[in-house]
Structure formats: structure tokens, C-alpha cells
Amino acid sequence: MSVDNFAGFTEIASCEIPELATRARHFRHGRTGADAVFLLNADAAQTFAISFRTPSADSTGVAHVLEHCVLSGSRAYPAEKPFAELLKGSLQSYLNASTFADFTIYPVASPHPTDFRNLVDVYLDAVFFPLLTEECFRREAWHLAADGTPQGVVLNEMRGMCASPVYLLADQARRSLFRTGPFSHAYGGDPDRITDLTHAAMTRFHRAHYHPSNALAAYSGVDDIQGELPRLDRIFSQFERCAPHLTPTGQVITAPRTLAISHAEAGPSRLALNWAFPAPDSRLTELACDILCEALVGQPFAPLRRGLIDGGHGTDVTEGRYCDDTWPPRLSIQLAGADADSTEGLLAVMRETMERLLQDGFDRHTLAGALNAVEFRNRDRSSRKRPHVVGLLLDVAKGWRLGRDPLHGLGFAPELAELRAKPAGFFEEMLKTHLLENPRFTLVALTPAAGTRKAPMRRPSDAVADDPAPQPKPRAAACIPRLALSDLSPGLVEDPMTVDQMGEVPVLLHQRQTNGLVYVDLALDLRGLPDLSCAALFARVLLRSGTARRSARDMANRIGAETGGLSCEVISAPLATGKGDATRLVLRGRALAEDAPSLFGIFGELLSEWQIPEPPYLSEIVRSEINRVRAQILPKAHEFLDRRLRRHDNAAEQTDGLTYLQFLHDFWSLIRRDPDQARQHLRESHAALACRKRLAIGITSGTSGAADLRRGAERLVGLVPAGAFIETPTCVAFPAHSEGFIVPGEANFVGMAVTPAASEALRPAALAVGLKYLETGWIRQKLREEGGAYGALCRGDLPGRPITFLSYRDPHILRSLDVFAAAGQQLERRISRDDLTRAIIATIGRLDRPLSPQESGLKALTDWLAGWSGERRAAFRAEVLATVGDDVQNIGKALIDAGKSAHIVLFGSKEVLSSALDQRPDLFEIRNLPGE
């Protein structure tokens, strides 16, 4: 242990993590015992996270409510809503908080040093010295609305979450393994129990858990240790040491059990198979557990996955992964389309599969793919919700919250090398001890309760109706530190990029620090295709198919063993000319730098030698795709609203929206009715898309090996058929009327689109600034702070194209539509100079936001295809900075005019939608979701 002191801290450990290009240093505060970790790396954004051990004692969601309330005013920053103020005028690249069953983490990030210090100052004061007013509690937790029903931001959030059968099953699967302790509760809050929470109980919870002795401060991309530690010491030294709240394990079940629950969605039953593992004693054991789960069920042709599907015990395995969010960790397997009334055969197949593996061993290709998958998850910890560096800080907190070395969960290369060298039988023995002979097992069945709906929450007997929150005070924003326009950097900082022309194919080489990975994107032009939905399905079938040389299983094994996996998505970006979109189907892959030739070869073989699957396997792929899309509807409802509202000029609705879901159901029926015709449609998509004239390639890698990557790309281009760019007129019929789709649960999702006419008075930069002001200011205030919605968004790119207003997990429909309709008037009144400045800064923050290597590579390719050169981006940025009040006022006038022909799409229960129509007849038409 080092004896050097750093402003009240002592360094107790440091290590190099070469596989992450990071040096980690661990400090401990002498007075309180608080931990501080610095990950020294070249990340473009400086990131900070403060974490607390907050084990849940019940299902009232106290830790979750507290997470919301601490960001609503503090001793040094007594504003009504500091979090909202930071959103308005910061360059933040990440600003959030997350509650888990036994800890809460508050991460912030910014590429600007002054902005970063401001964010950290506000967050530190917020968590240690919050105001925690009763008004805030009523707004964020619950209060009684005028009609006597409970409302609140967290309450509405959890109502929306619990409406999703995917969330319900995952929540019950976790809780089923624990009889007591934090993991046995609904830590986000059970909607039926949130109203049991009191303001006094929340403040007691804060006093008990939000203390430096129970805290971890973690930094990434910040090398000013001598500056940050004194800042922490000034806060921490105001406290005395106390005992930390280490996570109690709770009582884990000791014998198998079966549970049955129901949900209101009229759909297939779902099952979850769950095991609580023995507590891992080392990093190597943790990684081995992850690999075991991946080999058993995670890989496309993993033995248990195939056994369950081929045995007819489910149409799809929608999840099968190692879960380290509990202690001990666990394996959870979820099946869609299962028969909840006949599980004996399923359990027999499960046991037979494991016994056969004990006798014959895992296939070496399956194990190789599992090892590879785990390595890539550790090299790139980004997800849909958070960037890689926040994932790193989350893993630091996961080990620390158990009282372990916070650096424990970062490294992985030496352990994976050791696991690759393990003798035959190592993973089979783990399979025996951790799964086959493990009595800590549950089976949870989730069955539909069609036609039923949970009764509205009752009014608590001791509650009185109240006002959720007062209007914000005039001094609210004045105390929050903020940037000035003069603090902003003069221009964009862009990564090096070169463009080569290989015959008819442009190849972009984009250089970034990638932790030894290479990312390859193949963009196929979708212009002139008669059916974009079929093209999107073709891509997803392609990536799960075989070729003339390899079966689907062999190709999946090769992909697993030689790459980090393949995926696809459709991107649509407005052309820089303002005339149309650049719409591409992108096939995406990643590999270790030394395996890049294999990645190019796999892509080339798939495009040139693809073999369409036989009808039974094709039907399975389509059913899996239906399950994927349906599972996303409630968690990402605002995205589905946005796609639907933009359906006329955006390919997303046809390739990943409700139109695509309807196509999938129709195509699945076609396979059963006429499999030859279904397969012919996919062949036609292949013939049209696998064409050099439609292809552009983007490569993102480190600074070395460029020549080898160019050669790999050249070989790939040679494998892709020359083809012909044939355009067929596209004609897709969409309903002209507004729509309200029936979804389960008690939360609504509201969307409105208006399309201002393009004119010289409407500057695109001003549109971006005006919408940012609405999203972070006025609309957020009206919908979230006053209306109780969980969130609201405003989206638009160019005049003459749809602008969408969206709310999610919203207790209202008509009230929110009225707010959206009044947005133009708010801008037309002319916003204040202060609000304009903050909106400009927030818009610049979005433009300058650092991206992960994978994201930045795709964006570089997309921008190039759409004609957004560095000069054009710089010019647009300069126009944002030059925006004045008149510009935004013009946007408001245009929104008012366009609002006369607004289009509406809603998600809500049948009762809520019908009630809205009773008040405003003919506002929209009620429809069922596709497939219901």
C-alpha cells in the first residue's frame, strides 16, 4: 500500500488494463472510508459517477423515488429542478441516474472541462445535501389527482414498465430465486406499493444510505487527480465515518419451485427458467459462468436453445444470459410461445440436453463462439442505453457494492486466455454443479389474461387530494452553474478519415481508438426497392442463413468463432441538399483486428453464395423477428410513435415499425400457405440488394493496419455480384387518419406530427434550437413536472419534413395533445435571451457529442452518403451559434400554421382511448396492434 496522501485520500491499488488501454487507480478517503477510482484513458468525454449501496427492503421503490428527488434541488443549488436546468444549457454527453436492487449510480459526462466540473459539482451537492421537499416527493413519487386517482412520475414510469410482459417476466424471474433480501423485491417500485411510501420514509432512507462511508466516486477520461480529490474531500470531510451498507445476500431458495402469473396482453405464453449460481470466488470464475451460459443457450445453435425450440417447447428463446445484477448471480432463460400448461416435456428436454452434454461435451465451435462473445462484451461495454465508458463505471460499482475491490470486474484478457487453455471437461463440470445438480431453480410461467385489465389503483384511505408541485420560483435557474457561448470550442473535432474508390464501391476508413477491434459496415442503397419491409426481413434472414459452402449451423459457428457477431439496421438521414433521404440497409460486423480478413470473407460469402433457408427454419426466423419487434413496443413506444408519424418520408416505419410488424405477420402466414412464393420474395430482395452499384463500405479501426484492411475490403468487393441498379416505383398505402392503438397497462404514449412548409425564413439551425428549447424547457415543464409524464421529446431535422412531439408513460392524452398544439405559440411569443442561449448550448452539445467507435463509424459513413461534409457540418454549427430570437419566432409561426393539419398517433388502453373519443369525437380511430 502506498503511503502517499492525496488531499485526505490514500492510494491503495493501481493496475494496468492493456486490453482497455486504461490505467486504473484506487484511492480511499481517510476520514470516511469513501472509495474513489480513476480510469486513466484517452476517452473523448470526461465521465464521473457517484454510487451508493441502497439495498431495497420492500417494493415501495424508495431508492428509485429518492433517485428522482435528490436531483430536484440541494443546499448549494436550491433550484426547483437542477437536472432539468442542466439539460437546458450544458454540453453534457450523458446525464442520468439508475437504480438497481442494491445500489444507485449517478453518471455524468461532458467533453468540455468547465462543463464537466459544473456537472460534478451539482451532482455531488444533490446527492449529499438534497432539499427533499414534500412537494418534490408528491410530484416524483405519488399524489392524488383531482379525480382521486394516484399519479406521480415514478408511479407512471412503473405502470408503463409493468404493462410490458417482457419486463414482468424478467422481474418475477429474478425475484423468484430469493425468499428475502433486496433481490426479492420490485426495487423500481410495484405500482400497488408505491402509494405506501411516505415522505418521512424516503428522507430516513437518504440519511441512512447517502453517506461518504457508503459511497464510491469513479472517474474515466479524467487525469486531473490532484484537482478532483480535493473537491471530493471538501464534501466528504463534512461527515463522520459510519458503517457501510454492504449488500445482504438474502435467503436464496433451496429447492425448485414453479410460479404462475398472468398479464393483460393477448399474446402467447412465456416461460422463464432460472438458476441461482454459487457465488463466484474470482474474476476467472465470473467469466467462466458467463461463457457457460453463452455456450448453453446464448449462441444461435447452442444445444439447449435448439433443444427447446426443436422440441416444440417455444417458438423462440428471447433471452438466455448470465445476470450479475444479483448476488449470487444467476442464469435466466426466457421462452416465447411456450405451453405454460405442459412443462413436464420442457423440463425433460432440458435435463436430457444437459446430461448429453456431460457425456459428449460441448461442441468446440460452440465454446469458441461463447468465448468470443464474452470477450467482445468486455471490450465494448456499450448498450442501447449507455456508452462504453458508463458501462465500465457501472462494472466498477457492481464489484464495489459487494465490498470487493472495485477494480475487480474490469480486466478480462488474462482470464480468458486461461479459460481458452482449460482441459476438456472444465465447462461440463461447471454445467453439472451450477445447473444440472443445482436445486436453486425456478420455472415462472406468464400467461395471457385476454380481455382483462387491472383495476385502477384505489385511493389510499389516509390520503387527501393535493397539488403535485407548485409553479417554479423565479430564482429557480439562477444558481445553477452554466457555460457561456464564449466557452464553446471554435469548431468540430473530427476523427481522421480517408475515402477510397474500389471500382464502383466507395470505402471509408475511419480511425479511432477501438480497444483492438475493427468495425465494418456495409451500406446497401434502398432506393427504388418495391418493398422495404421485405428487404429488412431479408437482411435478418441473411445473417442467420447458410451458404453454398456451409450450412446455417456451420456459418453461425464461423461467425461466433471469428467475429464479434453480425447485425443489421436501416438508417435514413436527410440529404444535405434538403431533397429527400439517404436510406441504406447496413450490415454490421466487428472483429479483433487480426480476424478482420475473416469478417470480410464472411460478408462476401453471405452476399455471393446465400442459400435461402427451408420453410421450417425460415418460419422460425420470422417468428423470432415478430417476437423481437413486439417485445420493443412498450419499452420503446415513443420510437414506434415517431416512426409511424414519419411514415411517408422515413423508411424506419416500413423496416422496424408497426408496418413492418404487420408485414411479418402476413409473411409468416404466406410461408404456411405458399412457402415457395415467400421464398421467392426473399430471393428477389437478395438479387436487388447484393449489388456493387448499391454498396458502400465503412471501416472503423485503430491507426495501424490500414493497408491490410483496404486489401480485405477489395477482396470483399470482388465477391459481391456486379448486379444492376434497378429502380421499381414504391407504393405503400398508409391510413390518412390519426390512430390510437390499444396496448396493455395504465400508461399512455402520445405523439403528434406537424409539417411546416419550407421557406427561406425557416432556418434548419433555428429549428434545431427551437425544438431543443421546447424539449428541455417548456414541454418538459408542462408534461413531466406538471403533468406527471415520465418523459417528452421533440424531433425534427429540416423544414418541409415532419416535426414530432412525443411523450411516454404519460397519464394524460388530451392534455398532452393540447400542450403539443400550443408549442408554436410558445416560440412565437419570443423566448428570452437567456433561454435562447441555453438552447443554443444544448444544441451544440448534441452536435459535438462524443460517440463510441461503432457509433462514430456509422455516423461518418451516413454523413458521407448524405453529403454532409465536414465543411457543411461546420457551417450548420456556425448557424446554430448565430441563431437569434427572430429565427426561433419564425419557427413558432410555422408550427402554428402547420398545426392545423396535425397528425396524431397514440398508444393506450381501450378504456382510455374510448374516453378520449367521448370528449373529442372523430379525433382518431382505435386500432389493435398488428397481429392481435
- pLDDT above 50 (res 463): no
Average pLDDT over residues 697-722: 93
Residue 383 pLDDT: 82
| Lowest-pLDDT range of 126-140, 176-190, 476-490 | 476-490
Q: Residue 362 in contact with residue 429, Cβ under 8 Å?
A: no
- Residue pair 846/96 in contact (Cβ under 8 Å)? The answer is no
End-to-end CA distance of the chain: 64
Predicted local confidence at residue 293, as pLDDT:
98
Q: Are 214 and 245 in contact (CB under 8 A)?
A: yes
Show Cβ contacts of residue 248 under 8 Å, excluding neighbours closer than 6 positions.
55, 181, 182
- Given a cut of 90, is residue 468 above it in pLDDT? no
Q: Return the sign of the alpha-carbon dihedral for residues 906, 908, 909, 913.
A: negative
The phi, psi pair for 656, rounded to 5°, reads: -160, 25
Q: What are 416-435's pLDDT values in tens digits?
A: 999 999 999 999 999 999 99
Predicted pLDDT at 289: 98
Question: Stretch 766-795: mean pLDDT, rounded?
Answer: 94
| Position 469 confidence tier, pLDDT thresholds 50, 70, 90 | very low
Comparing 705 with 658, the larger pLDDT belongs to: 658
452 pLDDT more than 50: no
The residue among 4, 146, 122 whose CA lies nearest residue 74 is 122
pLDDT tens per residue across span 11-30:
999 999 999 999 999 999 99
Q: How far apart are CA 571 and CA 223, in angstroms?
A: 37
Could you tell me how many residues make up the chain? 932
Span 907-927, mean pLDDT?
A: 96
The rounded distance, in Å, linking the Cα atoms of 670 and 660 is 15
**For residue 384, pLDDT beyond 90:** no
pLDDT, tens only, 818-858: 999 999 999 999 899 999 999 999 999 999 998 888 899 99
Average pLDDT over the chain, rounded to an integer: 91
pLDDT given at position 449: 77
Please name the residue that has the C-alpha cell 419534413.
801
Task: Report the pLDDT value the prediction gives residue 477, as an integer from 0 to 100.
Answer: 57
C-alpha cell at 118: 459544473
Cell of 541: 434472414
What does the DSSP assignment read for 595-612? GHHHHHHHHHHHHHHEEP
Gap between the Cα atoms of 850 and 853, Å rounded: 9
Please say whether the beta carbons of 503 and 675 come within 8 A. no
**Cβ within 8 Å of residue 97, ≥6 positions away:** 67, 71, 104, 105, 106, 107
Give the whole-angstrom CA distance, residue 916 versus residue 815. 10
Rounded distance, CA 306 to CA 299, Å? 10
Cα dihedral sign, 408-409-414-417: positive
Whole-number percent of the chain with pLDDT over 90: 78
Record the cell numbers describing residue 803, joined without a space.
416535426
pLDDT at position 331:
97
User: Which of helix, strand or coil describes residue 680?
Assistant: helix
Q: How far is CA 808 from CA 60, 149, 319, 863, in A?
A: 22, 19, 25, 30
Contact 28, 9 (CB under 8 A): yes
Query: At residue 282, what is the residue type?
Result: S
Q: Which helix (H) or strand (E) holds 274?
A: strand 270-276
By CB atoms closer than 10 A (0-12, 13-18, 19+), residue 577 is exposed
pLDDT at 481: 85
454 pLDDT more than 80: no
What confidence category does residue 918 fall into, taking pLDDT thresholds of 50, 70 and 90? very high
Residue 815 C-alpha cell reads as 392534455
Q: Which residue is it, cell 409511424?
A: 644
Mean pLDDT on 258-280: 87
Measured from the Cβ of residue 616, the count of other Cβ atoms closer than 10 Å reads 10
User: What pTM was computed for the model?
Assistant: 0.93
Question: Which secondary-structure segment (H or E) carries 51?
Answer: strand 46-53
Give burial (CB, 10 Å; 0-12/13-18/19+) of 29: buried
Instruction: Give the pLDDT score at 459.
Output: 44
pLDDT exceeds cutoff 70 at 475: no
Helix or strand (DSSP H, E) at 119? helix 113-128
DSSP single-letter state for residue 736: S
Return the amino acid letter for 558.
Answer: R
DSSP string for residues in 803-845: EEEEEEEES-SHHHHHHHHTHHHHHHT---HHHHHHHHHHHHH
Radius of gyration, alpha carbons of the chain: 27
pLDDT for residue 491 is more than 80: no
- pLDDT score, position 813: 96
Return the closest-CA partner of residue 190 out of 158, 167, 165, 166: 158
The 10 Å Cβ neighbour count of residue 493 is 9
What is the Cα–Cα distance from 394 to 871, expressed in whole angstroms? 37
Q: What is the mean pLDDT of residues 97-115?
A: 95
Question: Do residues 153 and 474 touch, judged by C-beta distance below 8 A?
Answer: no
Q: What is the pLDDT of residue 4?
A: 56
* Phi, psi for residue 590 in degrees, rounded to 5: -145, 150
C-alpha cell at 870: 465536414
Q: How far apart are CA 312 and CA 805, in angstroms?
A: 43
pLDDT of residue 513: 87
Residue 12, H or E segment: strand 9-17
- The predicted model gives 230-242 an average pLDDT of 96
CB 515 within 8 A of CB 380: yes
d(CA 155, CA 65) in angstroms, rounded, equals: 9
Question: What is the phi/psi pair of residue 905, to 5°?
Answer: -135, 130
The answer to whether residues 844 and 862 touch, using CB atoms and an 8 Å cutoff, is no
Angle formed at CA 224 by CA 852 and CA 222, multiple of 5 degrees: 15
Note whether 895 and 823 are within 8 A (CB).
yes
Q: What is the largest CA-CA distance in the chain?
A: 76
- The pLDDT tens digits of the residues spanning 516-542 come to 899 999 999 999 898 999 999 999 999
Residue 83's nearest CA partner among 62, 61, 107 is 107
Dist. CA 911–CA 720, nearest whole Å: 53
SS3 for 505? strand
Nearest by Cα to 524 from 861, 856, 857, 797: 861
Q: Do β-strands 748-754 and 581-592 pair in parallel, antiparallel, or remain unpaired?
A: unpaired
Q: What angle do CA 570, 571, 576 make, to 5 degrees?
A: 155
Which of 26, 131, 154 lies closest to 70 in space, CA to CA?
A: 131
What gap in Å lies between CA 171 and CA 189, rounded to an integer?
11
CA distance 689 to 726: 10
Q: Would you place residue 3 in the very low, low, confident or very high pLDDT band (cuts 50, 70, 90)?
A: very low
169 CB-near residues (< 8 Å, 6+ apart): 270, 272, 334, 444, 446
Average pLDDT over residues 677-706: 94
Q: Kindly state the percentage of the chain with pLDDT values over 70.
A: 95
Phi, psi values for residue 904, rounded to 5°: -125, 140
What value does the mean pLDDT take over residues 149-165?
A: 93
Residue with cell 467482445: 376
Report the distance separating Cα 167 and Cα 263, nearest Å. Answer: 11
